[in-house]
């Protein structure tokens, strides 16, 4: 069965077609600049090269999805005989709130629950819903599954997910820590257990997902027991343009000092801070920051050190939270590709049983990077959220059919 995996953002739709159960990617791509001038579609078949197509009109999510479907079924460049070859669609959904602790078949009730969650994820859920509405219209009758970024973290205990705020804020408004990137933390923790050759139920694992967004998770015996993102993806690590943990009094200070509106504070902390802020607005691309660090440039070195130090603190905290550590995993754009970052994070962590092998660490993608005598096995693992979405979708729709 071919599964269409969709990740609808506010101005883009990422897609993959994955044949299941073979887990073979037969096509993938992205439509960018939805709602803006000069939208374009990048597309490739299997192992082929990317092709880029442009169009002059402004498009919405429905037209963008139609463009994807037309491309996938095109006689010359397509990979599908017709739309009916798509057995199901798997949607990435950012916020499932407390309603979803696993992936689900999308019904009208599920759509309603997602609409109710918009207040919790105003930046992401509306875009995810656009993808769902577009599919419903263009592919009626094709089952859809929702896979939530928050679901994996629904196992967090109350003492980890509650803030020390008046309890009615949680009871009435569900203000609590949710955590995100759950699909990635789940995938790499399972992959790490496979690579170690032990059941995940016997392992204490810390997964460090560092890309443009970044979060750490404590995965104890297969379950997420804590994670660094909270009520929103702003909490925790230093990210490309987000500040991560700060004194909660600071936004109030910003409002008073600069007369900022709530929206301006939101933009300031989410879009102008993090690496971008530390680099004086010059860049948030970690490749450039890494180059600057290696060349000894002062601003890049400081930004890189702050970024690594925050990760190191969370590793210490989560080892304490789990009462030990067996496996440490680095993943996502920076985690998979930056040996200097992994080296700096793990430096001086021998007391925790973490020893990096310099040669082994000099890799990109999936590999063991710790020494043979390191008590904690350290890995770089390429994440694959689309594969998890395809697996969950396939499992749910084939179970429904049985």
Spatial neighbors of 122 by CB under 8 A, at least 6 apart, are none
Closest CA to 5 of 398, 389, 385, 400: 389
Name the catalytic one among 60, 116, 149, 392: 149
- Residue 8 to residues 50, 84, 126, 140, 201: CA-CA distances in angstroms? 20, 21, 9, 18, 33
CB within 8 A of 337, min separation 6: which ones?
364
Q: Which is nearer to ligand AMP, 106 or 275 (CB)?
A: 275
Nearer to ligand AMP, 96 or 211 (CB): 211
- Beta-bridge partner residues of 218: 206, 226
Element (H, E) at 12: strand 12-19
CB of 309 to ligand AMP, least distance (A): 17
149 is catalytic: yes
Min. distance of Cβ 86 from ligand AMP in angstroms?
26
Which residue's CB comes closest to ligand AMP? Answer: 333
Edge-to-edge strand ranges of the sheet holding 144-148? 51-54, 40-45, 24-32, 12-19, 2-8, 86-93, 144-148, 104-105
Cβ of residue 188: shortest distance to ligand AMP, in angstroms? 12
Rounded CA-CA distance 364/308 in Å is: 18
Residue placing its CB nearer to ligand AMP in the complex, 279 or 396 = 279
How does DSSP classify residue 350?
G
Smallest distance, ligand AMP to C-beta of residue 285, A: 4
Taking the complex as a whole, the smallest distance from the CB of residue 83 to ligand AMP amounts, in Å, to 29
Backbone φ and ψ of 220, nearest 5°: -100, 120
Among residues 151 and 300, whose Cβ is nearest to ligand AMP?
Answer: 300
Classified as helix, coil or strand, 50 is coil
Interaction site with ligand AMP (CB under 6 A): 211-212, 240, 285-287, 290, 332-334, 337-338
Question: Which C-beta is closer to ligand AMP: that of 87 or that of 211?
Answer: 211
User: What are the catalytic residues?
Assistant: 149
């Amino acid at each position: 069965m071919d599964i269409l995996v969709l990740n609808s953002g506010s101005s883009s739709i990422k897609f993959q077609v994955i044949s299941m159960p073979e887990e073979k990617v037969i096509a993938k791509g992205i439509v960018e600049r939805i709602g803006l001038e000069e939208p374009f579609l990048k597309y490739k078949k299997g192992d082929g090269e990317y092709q880029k197509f442009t169009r002059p009109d402004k498009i919405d999510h429905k037209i963008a999805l139609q463009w994807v479907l037309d491309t996938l079924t095109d006689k010359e460049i397509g990979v599908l005989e017709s739309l009916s070859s798509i057995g199901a669609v798997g949607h990435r959904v950012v916020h499932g709130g407390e309603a979803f602790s696993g992936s689900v078949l999308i019904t009208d009730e599920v759509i309603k629950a997602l609409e109710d969650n918009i207040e919790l994820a105003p930046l992401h859920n509306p875009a995810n819903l656009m993808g769902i509405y577009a599919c419903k219209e263009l592919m009626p009758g094709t089952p859809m599954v929702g896979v939530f970024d928050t679901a994996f973290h629904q196992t967090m205990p109350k003492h980890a997910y509650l803030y020390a705020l008046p309890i009615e804020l949680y009871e009435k408004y569900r203000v609590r820590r949710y955590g995100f990137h759950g699909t990635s933390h789940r995938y790499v923790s399972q992959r790490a257990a496979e690579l170690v050759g032990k059941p995940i139920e016997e392992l204490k694992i810390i997964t460090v997902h560092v890309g443009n967004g970044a979060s750490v998770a404590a995965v104890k015996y297969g379950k997420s027991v804590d994670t660094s993102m909270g009520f929103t993806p702003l909490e925790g690590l230093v990210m490309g343009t987000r500040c991560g943990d700060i004194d909660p009094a600071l936004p109030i200070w910003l409002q008073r000092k600069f007369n900022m509106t709530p929206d301006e504070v939101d933009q300031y902390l989410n879009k102008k801070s993090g690496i971008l802020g530390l680099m004086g607005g010059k860049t948030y691309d970690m490749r450039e920051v890494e180059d600057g660090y290696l060349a000894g440039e002062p601003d890049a070195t400081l930004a890189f050190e702050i970024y690594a130090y925050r990760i190191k603190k969370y590793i210490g905290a989560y080892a304490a939270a789990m009462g030990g550590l067996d496996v440490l995993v680095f993943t996502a754009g920076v985690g998979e590709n930056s040996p200097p970052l992994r080296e700096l994070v793990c430096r001086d962590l021998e007391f925790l049983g973490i020893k990096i092998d310099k040669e082994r660490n000099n890799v990109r993608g999936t590999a063991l990077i710790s020494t043979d005598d390191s008590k904690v096995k350290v890995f770089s693992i390429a994440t694959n959220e689309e594969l998890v979405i395809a697996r969950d979708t396939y499992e749910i729709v084939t179970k429904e059919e049985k």
